[in-house]
Amino acid sequence: MRLKSILASALAVFLAFGASIAARADGDGKTLTIGLIPAENNEEMVQKFEPMRAYLEKSLGHKVKVFTATDYTGVIEAMKKGRLDIAWFGPLSYVLAEEESNAEAFAVGIRKGTNSASYKSIIIAPCSSGIKTIQDLKGKSFAFVDPASTSGCLIPTYLIKKETGMMPQEFFGKIIYAGSHDAAELAVKNGTVDAGADDDITYDNMKAKGLITGTDNCIIKISDPLPGNPLAYRKDMPQDMKDKVKAAFLAAGNEMGGGGFGNISSYVAASPKDYSLIRKLIKELGLRKEQILKK
């Protein structure tokens, strides 16, 4: 019996030691992981976020890692599985993450040169195509960004339904999902599709880089202002850590002049109620989360 007791104790110590090693290898509680939806090329997204990552690491006294996925659903699922502590979402992907991943919005970025966190969805077509309105797109091919993209899918779907009385699947001859906003722009520019969806942030950024011009892709429809892309943490994160993370982002404007996706100059507080419009549109269009998340 004594031998069995000794062996049991040794096994318990071994398992505890193994768990400790595993915890350190997988993050010892001092590492925070931030997920970024693939609004643009993943490598560029990580590069743009690097100054913010370094700032947060210094401000919080914790190692900070950045995670990207091949689609919006990947970021939502990563938070659901506890692999992410914080994520940068679009309004629609955030609303989905509220339910799927226990996400809670806490901050949103203010774009340089403005006093607003809002942005707009646009529909673009080749300037030389003769396409001037949504009605001109009947039966043509169209590039959405991702089923969980606000400006790249939800809002264009709403605009199309509002103007034609038809859902995109009924209205267009062919639909593709480009995966990112810049990919949708290039699909239009290169003639892969007749038209596509984007946001005004990416459109302006790509024009500034010379990747598209005002004579390549023309805007044929622009939405009303939308609530900005929120940062969200898991609701079950310890409250003291949530307070520190939120404070660090809200101080980023003064500390480092902003940073992140979309030429952000500073951050202001955000809350779940700021995204009621998105919840309303999901209901109005009769969309189910299973459709959007491709489950």
The strand ranges marked E within the chain are 31-36, 63-68, 86-88, 103-111, 121-126, 141-144, 174-177, 195-199, 217-222, 230-234, 264-269
CATH topology of domain 12-16+23-116+227-274: D-Maltodextrin-Binding Protein; domain 2 (3.40.190)
Summarize pLDDT for 134-143 with one digit per residue, the tens.
999 999 999 9
Q: Name beta bridge partners: 13.
A: none
What is the predicted pLDDT for the residue at 254? 79
Q: Are 289 and 100 in contact (CB under 8 A)?
A: yes
Q: What is the CA radius of gyration of the chain?
A: 22
What is the predicted pLDDT for the residue at 262? 63
Q: How far is it, in rounded angstroms, from Cα 81 to Cα 24?
A: 18
Phi, psi of 44 (to 5 degrees): -65, -35
Kindly indicate whether the domain formed by 121-222 is annotated with CATH number 3.40.190.10. yes
Phi, psi of 292 (to 5 degrees): -70, -40
What residue ranges do the domains of the chain occupy? 12-16+23-116+227-274, 121-222
Q: Do domains 12-16+23-116+227-274 and 121-222 have the same CATH topology?
A: yes
Q: How far is CA 22 from the centre of its chain?
A: 30
Spans in the chain with pLDDT lower than 50: 1-28, 295
